[in-house]
Amino acid sequence: MICTRISMNTFHSTDYWIHIAQYETMSDTDKQYYILKTRYILYWLNADRFYWKNGDLQNLAEAFFAMGNVVSICRICFLLPIIAFVGPLQVKTKIENSKLCVNK
């Protein structure tokens, strides 16, 4: 998310577009720099994650976060019927889940 925000800010900055407008008069190293910078910006602004690299840290972080949430909910659902003193919590979660289902 931070890389996407930085890329969006760079893409909207007037300094970036002034340099792109002067592309023909740049040296070869500056041209190469702005080509790489533009590819980097477009990589992060591409919303379709199908085209992202497999080992991208953003994708990995979100995948592990999602798996952690699923495991956490499964663990709680497994323990609720076993432990008697969390019975009110079980009733409360069932009520909240039913409210969520009704609101959708």
Q: DSSP for the chain?
A: -HHHHHHHHHHH-HHHHHHHHTGGGS-HHHHHHHHHHHHHHHHHH---GGGS-TT-HHHHHHHHHHHHHHHHHHHHHHHTTT-GGGHHHHHHHHHHHHHHHHH-
| pTM: predicted TM-score of the whole model, two decimal places | 0.44
Same domain, 40 and 56: no
Same domain, 57 and 104: yes
Whether 89 has a pLDDT exceeding 70, the answer reads no
Same domain, 40 and 60: no
Same domain, 88 and 63: yes
Taking residues 52-81, what's their average pLDDT? 81
Q: Which domain holds residue 103?
A: 52-104
Same domain, 37 and 18: yes
Give 101's pLDDT tier (boundaries 50, 70, 90).
low
Give 93's pLDDT tier (boundaries 50, 70, 90).
low
